[in-house]
Every structure is written in structure tokens, then in C-alpha cells.
Amino acid sequence: METPTASLPGGTWTLGDSPVTRFGYGAMQLTGPWAMGPPADRDGALTVLREAVEAGITHIDTSNAYGPGVTNELIAEALRPYPESLLVATKVGANRDAQGGWPTARRPEDLRTQVRENLRSLGVETLDLVNMRMGDATGTQSGSLAEAFGTLAELQTEGLIRHLGVSNVTPEQVDEARAIAPIVCVQNMYNLAHRHDDALIDQLAAQGIAYVPFFPLGGFTPLQSETLSAVAEQLEAAPMSVALAWLLQRSPNILLIPGTSSTAHLRQNIAGAALTLPEASVAELDRIGG
Ligand SMILES: NC(=O)c1ccc[n+]([C@@H]2O[C@H](COP(=O)([O-])OP(=O)(O)OC[C@H]3O[C@@H](n4cnc5c(N)ncnc54)[C@H](OP(=O)(O)O)[C@@H]3O)[C@@H](O)[C@H]2O)c1
């Protein structure tokens, strides 16, 4: 595909030595329900991916666990040969079971297998960015990440991974990872209503490390809040636009990866995130997560 030139809300951020648009795209919602199986509308899913890149997005988040294999294969089909500017971030640390569960898989041999599967399904020789996922979508879990993250650092030295990140982690695990190898991002759950990581975001900003909130719109249960609806109404904007604009305004190291299976929502989110929130609206929105 040709390298796009469009500019997007929020401008760019450099992950390691790779500039990306702060407005990115999260591919998990392209699968069947609950991130399992193929999409109901395969052509529609391919169109969403192509339109995201044509709009100028240069950061796509995925995992071989989505489907499993489904989002990676859709990304490869829609976007290969990949534009040089595109960075595809993936994550390892869990497999899928027949019930749609996410069993932990973090032994060195599990991680090596998952990295190989990501390389195959994305059709690349080096993964741009791999996040070591520790907790799960319900939150973080304490404990050492040294063996798991150390394995990814070895795979980076072997040339299979360009940049490393961590996901679903505590601040202590971030520090532990940084003592093993440089990280370019932390991917944790964060949005208007879940602000557990406020202090961590500020710390990472000072360290030049990106913070990539997953579930920026609330995930499988999209954000619902009377305050959000009221602010959106005052600004004549959609609530999801306000939620995204708020994240972009919250800190310059926040990168957006909102998910959608719909080109209409993709367009609405790109346009809506450009909204500038007045201070009074930000103060009102702060009450949601306070
Ligand atoms: N590290 C981790 O453990 C972890 C966990 C979960 C997710 N992630 C990553 O984070 C990314 C984002 O998370 P997510 O996609 O689950 O959640 P999300 O971005 O918070 O929300 C996606 C949901 O919002 C809906 N939506 C999007 N735009 C909308 C709009 N303008 N109006 C109304 N509804 C809208 C989507 O439905 P439609 O499809 O109908 O638009 C979808 O149901 C994922 O794609 C994945 O890459 C990582």
C-alpha cells in the first residue's frame, strides 16, 4: 500500500525510533463475538483496516490471541505489503481455550511459540512491537515478570522483535521490566471512568514512554455516564468523541487504539477526537473517574 500523508488528531509520538500517529486503531473488535472466531462480515473488516491506513493511521494494535489468529491474518490480507510508516503492535502472554477464555501462557517456550505465530500470521520477519501481557483484561496481577520479559528481550536480541512494551502491569512491574531492557510503551486499561493509572501516566510521560490505554471507550461495555452525555450535549459532540478527545488532551504520551468494526464509527472517532475540550468540560469529566 502507498504511504499515507493525512494528518490525524493528536499528531505523532515516537515509539523508540518509530514515529506513529497518536490516533491509532485497535483490531480486536474485528473478530467474531468476544474476540473469538472470524468476523461476520470479512470484507467489511478488511475495509475498516484499509480505511484506517488510508486515513493516515500508522499504529495498529493486535494479538495472535484475537480469533485466535483472525485479526493478524486480516491485517496481513488487507495491508501487505505494509507501508513503511505502519507499526503493528502485538502482545503475548495468553492463549485461547475453546470456551473463549484467556489461559496464561508465559513460560519461555510458550512465548517463543507465540512470537513465531505472530511472525507467521502477520507475514513479517521482525515484529515491530511486542507487549508482554501480565495480568488480564480485568486488571493487573502482582508478581515478577523477569523470566517472561527476559525471554522477549532475548528474542529482541535475536532480531525477531524491534521494540518491547508491557501490558496489564503494575508500576512495580514497569520498573522491573525497565531494569531488564528498554520499553517504549505500557498498555493498560484506562479511560474516563477507570483512572487507576493517573500517576503512572505522568511518570511515564516524564520518562518518554508511551501509555496506550486499552478499552479507551469502555471495551465490551461501552462507556455510559450521565456526566459524559451532558458534556457531549453541551459541546454538540458524540460521547465517544469526547472520551477520545479527553484522552488525547490528558497527556501527550497517550496513544489511542480505539476499536471498531465499522467504517462509520472509525470516521466519527477520527473526526471527533479532534475536538478541543474547554477547561470547564475537563473539570466536569474529571468527576467521572474521581
Ligand atoms: N492488553 C490487553 O489486555 C487488551 C485488552 C483489551 C483490548 N486491548 C486492545 O485495545 C483495543 C481497544 O479496545 P476495545 O476495542 O476492546 O475497546 P474500545 O476501543 O474501548 O471500544 C470498542 C467498542 O466501542 C464501540 N465503538 C467504537 N466507536 C464507537 C462510536 N463512535 N460510537 C459507538 N460505539 C463505538 C465498538 O463497537 P463497533 O464495532 O460497533 O464500532 C466496540 O464495541 C483492542 O482493539 C485491543 O487491540 C488490549
Predicted confidence at residue 139, as pLDDT, reads: 87
Q: Which residues pair with 96 in a beta bridge?
A: none
On whether the CB atoms of residues 160 and 127 are closer than 8 A, the answer is yes
| Distance between CA atoms of residues 49 and 170, nearest Å | 31
Q: 66 catalytic, yes or no?
A: yes
Q: Are strands 18-21 and 12-15 parallel, antiparallel or unpaired?
A: antiparallel
- DSSP letter for 6, please: -
Average pLDDT for 233-254 = 98
Distance 219 CA to ligand 1 centre (A): 5
CATH number of 19-187: 3.20.20.100
- Angle in degrees, CA 5, 210, 78, rounded to 5: 45
Supply the angle between the helices 239-250 and 279-289 in degrees, to the nearest 10.
100
Beta strands per DSSP E along the chain: 12-15, 18-21, 25-26, 59-61, 87-92, 127-133, 161-167, 185-187, 210-211
233 grid coordinates? 450535549
Distance 39 CA to ligand 1 centre (A): 15
Q: Is the pTM of this model over 0.75?
A: yes
| Burial grade of 40 (CB within 10 A; 0-12, 13-18, 19 or more) | exposed
Atom of ligand 1 nearest to the CA of 216: 20
Checking if the pLDDT of 149 tops 70, the result is: yes
Residue nearest to atom 44 of ligand 1 (CA): 26
Pocket probe for ligand 1: among 132, 260, 266, 268, the residue whose CB has the most ligand atoms within 8 Å is 260
What value does the mean pLDDT of the chain take? 96
Q: Classify 214 as helix, strand or coil.
A: strand
Q: Which residues pair with 32 in a beta bridge?
A: none
Ligand 1 site, CB within 6 A: 26-29, 61, 91, 133, 137, 167-168, 187, 214-219, 222, 240, 257-262, 265, 268-269
Could you report the per-residue pLDDT of 88-113, keeping only the tens digit for each?
999 999 999 999 999 999 999 999 99
Distance 89 CA to ligand 1 centre (A): 16
Cβ neighbours of residue 162 under 8 Å, at least 6 residues apart? 16, 18, 126, 127, 128, 129, 156
Checking if the pLDDT of 270 tops 70, the result is: yes
Categorize the per-residue pLDDT at 168 as very low, low, confident or very high, splitting at 50, 70 and 90: very high
